[in-house]
Structure 1
């Protein structure tokens, strides 16, 4: 990159010879980003030196951003190590978390240490599948019924059309929903180690063309919002989307009392009255204390789609007193994660995945994404345990005060 090249791009944009988004067609990615940043600085009267001080070649972000001017840097830390007894991961792991919320890492770290003192947490992915649900228009309910019957009789043909678009994805089922003259078909795919939203969308387009060619239905929208992506939805809480994953642990009574300065009875009551009764009264879709905190921080650290925190944090936390101590679980119904594609290819996010030992495709396929889901669930469990205990011991505000937050 030379100053002359940057100045030339700026001049050509000013003269109307180039548009903002065309700079990469006439220069390397870093030169284009620099020219664009200086244009913005000049027009807005601001200094973007920190934004421009990014630590990777700009072309590494070609697939992730348009009109790049630099990078936003979020502080990244680790919680743990914590022992995970998962179906896809076994042993100690540091949990990478990127956040601007002070005290979050400290709280999750405390939860991790208590979990480890109890021998670690168990985690399992209980269901997986990425969904896309197009909506079709028919003339009346009789045609809707005919379409539903056709789908049930021709699922193999839909599977063949969908899977012809991908070398990895597999169509596992198609579920019809009828609302008047609208028919929604909720396609579910096994996308292996990819989060799979793009894969599911492309495959569903091919299947929808098969539906239109063989029936009287007309495709209105490739996404009919019954998928449901990046919006709170009961269907995701019930049917799942991405990975449905649960983590649990039994904490001995003496550990609860000595390390968390409270009792199993107090934690269980806080969980019932806050997470269950309080959430029900509020009409919440999530019955937890702050699962979104951990999901968001680990998503940012590992290159996941940050907007999918909406459904990724749709979780239920349970706590009960047992003879040997305190049982706590967190069940995340729709955690959409992947270890290949999207933001996972960015350098710092790739390192976050490497820290967990789940970067790239797994053997067997899908095992790395399962392992990532299990690690996120254990992190969420640690966060829930720590916050519930802080509330039970009435130490929440004093903890924030002592950390200066």
Structure 2
């Protein structure tokens, strides 16, 4: 038997735990052993799952019980010209998706933006959040703790920043609910998405709150952050990077590239994205921004669950005398160019396509540029879908592509 088969037999016999195989073999052999075990027990063929191009040990910080890789088709849309504070120039946007016609749609929107001279972008706010919850005796203690937090930002920042070389605590806002006190910490995490950085720093700051007030920490995350869940506080206050993109499409560009008019697009946006979303009590007022955000997150090594926050986008459209003004604002885009999945070989290569792999100079500039590029990509996607709906050719486009 091969080493992998031997390890699989030891797991079946109860001699080894599935998660402990790397203690007895290299990472690739451990993964092969898990595939062999599953193939025998479940009568499945995992040949394709095991056909991956990166060293298994390079993924040790990203996944446990590795068996291989899930391959998702990867395309590019562009060139997409972006005139931003951090991003400047034409880019090809990598998108990983299984949804047919998505890349083609974004590519069509990028063509319209290109014909109009490019999209303008800007990062409006930066701040990754973590909000622990504390227990106190009563509302009087809660008020006292909240007052202490408001007066002690410098002391909390000193404690929090001992845990990181780059993160900076910018805000600490208390919220009282009966005998619970939540403190929403906001950090500038530079080029990292920063969720882990914020969690570790917040734990240190929480120790100071416990030592100086009657508060007792219940959980380092009290869901007022709010991470990976639809939340009004993120839509209003922002989380990660708040970013916007806009463009003016002349009448001839609308007709040639999107096959419609400014008035028709504006009406679709008003009735669908604004009135329809309001009637549904949606936290996002857009056509399909999450489509672009999700596909880009998969391609670029971002935390894909945070597409939830990315869906809080608002698309604004106005018919003007000579064409159409359009913008998209994403208040809570959690992105980074270092850490997490950005170091995986495929995702690193995708970031290289954008010229944004690794940390920026100055720190934070690559993260800002990535947010701006994704905002421009989301704008391209919004324009394409709104144009297809306004021109009544969405269904025919899907039928033409057979999907």
Report what 1:287 is aligned to. 285
Question: For 1:132-191, what per-residue CA distance to the aligned partner results, in whole angstroms no more than 9, with x for missing partners?
Answer: 000111111111111011112221111111000111100001011111111100000000
For the pair 1:149 / 2:147, whether they are aligned, the reply is yes
Supply the distance in 2 between the matched residues of 1:166 and 1:271 (Cα, whole angstroms).
44
Report what 2:250 is aligned to. 252
Unaligned segments of structure 2, at least 5 residues: none
Report what 1:275 is aligned to. 273
User: What SS is found at the alignment partner of 1:338?
Assistant: coil
Question: For 1:206-265, what per-residue CA distance to the aligned partner results, in whole angstroms no more than 9, with x for missing partners?
Answer: 000110011111111110000000000000000000000000000001111122111000
Report what 1:359 is aligned to. 357
Supply the distance in 2 between the matched residues of 1:288 and 1:7 (Cα, whole angstroms).
51
1:168 to 163, 166, 169: 166
Question: For 1:320-345, what per-residue CA distance to the aligned partner results, in whole angstroms no more than 9, with x for missing partners?
Answer: 01123100000001000000000001
Report what 2:81 is aligned to. 83
Cα deviation, residue 98, structure 1: 0.2
Supply the distance in 1 between the matched residues of 2:219 and 2:205 (Cα, whole angstroms).
13
Supply the distance in 1 between the matched residues of 2:135 and 2:12 (Cα, whole angstroms).
48
Report what 1:115 is aligned to. 113
User: What SS is found at the alignment partner of 2:90?
Assistant: strand
TM-score by length of 1: 0.99
Report if the CA contact (8 A) 2:5-2:36 is conserved: no
For the pair 1:298 / 2:312, whether they are aligned, the reply is no
Report what 1:216 is aligned to. 214
Count of aligned pairs between the two proteins: 403
Cα deviation, residue 11, structure 1: 2.3
Supply the distance in 2 between the matched residues of 1:228 and 1:234 (Cα, whole angstroms).
9
Supply the distance in 2 between the matched residues of 1:15 and 1:109 (Cα, whole angstroms).
53
Supply the distance in 2 between the matched residues of 1:309 and 1:90 (Cα, whole angstroms).
25
Report what 2:391 is aligned to. 393
Report what 1:377 is aligned to. 375
Supply the distance in 2 between the matched residues of 1:184 and 1:307 (Cα, whole angstroms).
23
Supply the distance in 1 between the matched residues of 2:157 and 2:104 (Cα, whole angstroms).
47
For the pair 1:261 / 2:259, whether they are aligned, the reply is yes
For the pair 1:136 / 2:134, whether they are aligned, the reply is yes
Question: For 1:115-135, what per-residue CA distance to the aligned partner results, in whole angstroms no more than 9, with x for missing partners?
Answer: 000000001000010000001
Question: For 1:191-215, what per-residue CA distance to the aligned partner results, in whole angstroms no more than 9, with x for missing partners?
Answer: 0000000000000000001100111
Report what 1:204 is aligned to. 202
Question: For 1:53-78, what per-residue CA distance to the aligned partner results, in whole angstroms no more than 9, with x for missing partners?
Answer: 11111111000000000000000000
For the pair 1:348 / 2:358, whether they are aligned, the reply is no
Report what 2:328 is aligned to. 330
Supply the distance in 2 between the matched residues of 1:372 and 1:29 (Cα, whole angstroms).
32
Report if the CA contact (8 A) 2:123-2:242 is conserved: yes
Supply the distance in 1 between the matched residues of 2:106 and 2:9 (Cα, whole angstroms).
50
Unaligned segments of structure 1, at least 5 residues: none
Cα deviation, residue 12, structure 1: 1.7
Cα deviation, residue 8, structure 1: 2.1
TM-score by length of 2: 0.99
Supply the distance in 1 between the matched residues of 2:257 and 2:340 (Cα, whole angstroms).
40
For the pair 1:45 / 2:38, whether they are aligned, the reply is no
Report what 2:2 is aligned to. 4
Cα deviation, residue 14, structure 1: 2.1
For the pair 1:57 / 2:55, whether they are aligned, the reply is yes
Report what 1:181 is aligned to. 179
For the pair 1:101 / 2:133, whether they are aligned, the reply is no
Report what 2:26 is aligned to. 28
User: What SS is found at the alignment partner of 1:374?
Assistant: helix
Question: For 1:77-109, what per-residue CA distance to the aligned partner results, in whole angstroms no more than 9, with x for missing partners?
Answer: 000011000110111100000000000011100
